[in-house]
Amino acid sequence: MGKNKKALTVLLAAGLLTVISCDTGTGPGDKGYEFSFAWGSEGDEEGQFQSPRGIAQGDQTNVYVADVENNRIQVFDSEGVFLLAWGSFGTGDGEFLYPNDVALDSGANVYVADTFNDRVQVFDASGTFLRTWGESGNGDGELDRPFGIAVDSQDRVIVADTYNHRIQVFDGEGGFIASWGTQGGGDGEFDRPAAVAVDSADDIYVADLMNCRIQKFASDGTYLTAWGELGEDNGDFRYPQGVAVSGDDKVFVADTNNDRVQRFDTDGGYELKFGVEGDAEGEFNQPQDVIVDSQGGVYIVDTSNHQIQVFVQG
């Protein structure tokens, strides 16, 4: 595979991988963030990963990772030291079929997008199963391959219902509140929404994967704005699969097939980028999620390098 060519593996088909081939830019990123440390390698032992995707951090600074192909959640301290893990392949309580994302509420309960089981599972911070909701379908509260999950300041659970091309909102017990979206490329429409995040005002940001853009909504689902298109220039995306908002309301996007992270203001104004294709420190291979801690450290799920990388602002 040539240096400027790669295949983006997108886990967006039941039981199969969909492969999208496209060019990837390899020029140096803007200055602003520098590599700090990383952890993980390919495997199924403690602290190893097999195609990790979702990441979240609780108030106690512990980092939760959706270890997709190992069908488990792993927990680390903020320095990457392994603490615990739970989950196995299956359909029962506490079992997973390729969980793709994880989020925490104000009580440190852990919400997992159990993607191929078409449900959300909820655990306490130690991994004890609490409850679940969702089943296959397209009605209210039903799900079709949910890939992204977030929790807002009111402890509402926001789910990227990816193959239903919509966003659904629930209370913490799984009670349906609202939904919006249909398949398409217009304002408020989606083509496989893959990730969600919220800012300090509880506005909602959606990584609209196949439309190669970020869409922003008010907490009630009212469309506000969108930015991005397919490309490799600043502000363009190639199938973005992760989005996060920092405490100071900067929007970070895992620009997956451009092998970089881009940062924007909340109106979509481009600010900077970092990362290039590769497997060395500070290089990425299909980064699929990102979070920002209270100190401004940026944790990036470097999916096809099977690791977490951490950057700090220089």
Mean pLDDT split into 10-residue runs, the chain, 314 residues:
39 37 39 93 98 92 97 98 98 98 97 99 98 98 98 98 99 98 98 98 98 99 98 98 98 98 98 98 98 96 98 94
Is pTM beyond 0.85? Reply is: yes
Q: Which amino acid is at 311?
A: F
User: 312 — alpha (psi -120 to 50), left (phi > 0) or beta?
Assistant: beta
Nearest to 52 by CA among 74, 21, 81, 83: 74
pLDDT value at residue 314: 86
pLDDT value at residue 31: 57
pLDDT value at residue 2: 39
**Three-class SS state of 133:** strand
pLDDT value at residue 20: 38
pLDDT value at residue 24: 34
Enter the tokens of residue 27. Answer: 């020029």
Q: Are 195 and 101 in contact, with CB atoms under 8 Å apart?
A: yes
* b/e sequence 212-243, b meaning 16+ C-beta within 10 Å: bbbbbbebebeebebbbeeebeebbbbbbbbb
Enter the tokens of residue 20. Answer: 């999208």
Question: Which residue's entry shows tokens 């239903």?
Answer: 164
pLDDT value at residue 58: 82
